[in-house]
Amino acid sequence: ILETFLSLLLPLALLVLAASSAAVAQLEIGFYSKTCPDAEKIVREEMAKIIAAAPSLAGPLLRLHFHDCFVRGCDASVLLESTEGNVAEKDAKPNKSLRGFGSVERVKAKLEAACPGIVSCADVLTLMSRDAVVLAKGPFWPVALGRRDGRVSSATEASNELPPAFGDVPLLAKIFASKGLDLKDLVVLSGAHTLGTAHCPSFADRLYNTTSGLIDPSLDSEYADKLRLKCKSVDDRAMLSEMDPGSFKTFDTSYYRHVTKRRGLFRSDAALLFDATTKDYVQRIATGKFDGEFFRDFSESMIKMGDVGVLTGAEGEIRKKCHVLN
């Protein structure tokens, strides 16, 4: 009888063990409640100071998180510096204009002072992007924590995997799907373009088409004239244009109103009007009657994106400084 009992007990024990290890490998709300109880408060307070001093950093910090999650998942690989033998993500062409690295190090240093070696850079960046949205008058959402930091960062991967500013919906949808994100996530997360600015090379091909000499017909001609005053050529790197003119430091739905008027800055913004599903969403939110719905959708899509390809448990490491491996 004892033998039978033990033979029944063993699979049960293995099942419990498997369940507990699976639970360990999940992100969770309050992950640092025992090891660094003030982690979120420290990030929030430091972010309040950063955004008070430089409100225009909200967009770049949100973008940093996007660019991290789309390459190897949300593992802070975008923060690593290149080394003699490796060109890192941050030096890939699409990442040359990323900003906010110093702010991430500043927040991480505060956490290291309070709880050395506990909070990952991946979690720091995820929290900072949420707080950036909140401080720009956008929605709050709970962030599950427990991400670990990756040990690999490749410029080639970044160049191949990031959604390009010139992408149409089929191409962008394919890239999003490879990360477990759908068409709704694509149109909702495009709404992040309500914050921030862009350099001319990311959209100037719409103003100066080298082959035909004509401007992109999907761009409002009056708006194109205004943009050409700022961007003198395709290679003009000096000037910045607001992605959501008039409220580029405020998280709101005016981006969608610009897109419906054919005043989205990028080809990828304009492309949203050429797909039935994304067009419906853009036009609905553009009415200004569904801001609460957009805020809820954005929160849900950010939670989904923050779960992409995360390292948990014993994977990766907890970097002491975000720009360099331990």
Three-class SS of residue 316?
coil
Coil/strand/helix, residue 263? coil
| Residue in this structure with the two tokens 């990766």, named with its chain if needed | 316
**194 known ligand binder:** yes
User: Smallest Cα–Cα separation from 131: which of 38, 248, 251?
Assistant: 251
287 is in an annotated binding site: no
Q: Is 258 annotated as a binding residue?
A: no
What angle in degrees, to the nearest 10, is found between the helix axes of 58-69 and 291-306? 50
**Catalytic choice (67, 199, 258, 323):** 67
Q: For residue 9, what are its two tokens? A: 């007990």
> 123 labelled as ligand-binding?
no
Backbone conformation region of residue 100, classed left if phi is above 0, alpha if psi is from -120 to 50, else beta: left
The yes-or-no answer on residue 258 being catalytic is no
User: Does 164 count as an annotated binding residue?
Assistant: no
Check whether 297 is labelled as a binding-site residue: no
How far, in Å, CA of 114 to CA of 83, rounded? 29
Q: Is 220 annotated as a binding residue?
A: no
Q: Which residues 6+ apart lie within 8 Å of 66 measured at CB?
A: 129, 189, 192, 305
199 is in an annotated binding site: no
244 is in an annotated binding site: yes
Residue 233 in tokens: 């050529």
Answer yes or no: is 278 a known binding residue. Answer: no
Annotated ligand binding at 163? The verdict is: yes
In this structure, how many other beta carbons lie within 10 angstroms of the beta carbon of residue 170?
Answer: 10
Binding-site annotation, residues for heme b: 193
Binding-site annotation, residues: 68, 71, 73, 75, 77, 89, 163, 193-194, 244, 252
Binding-site annotation, residues for substrate: 163
Q: Which residues are catalytic?
A: 67
Binding-site annotation, residues for Ca(2+): 68, 71, 73, 75, 77, 89, 194, 244, 252
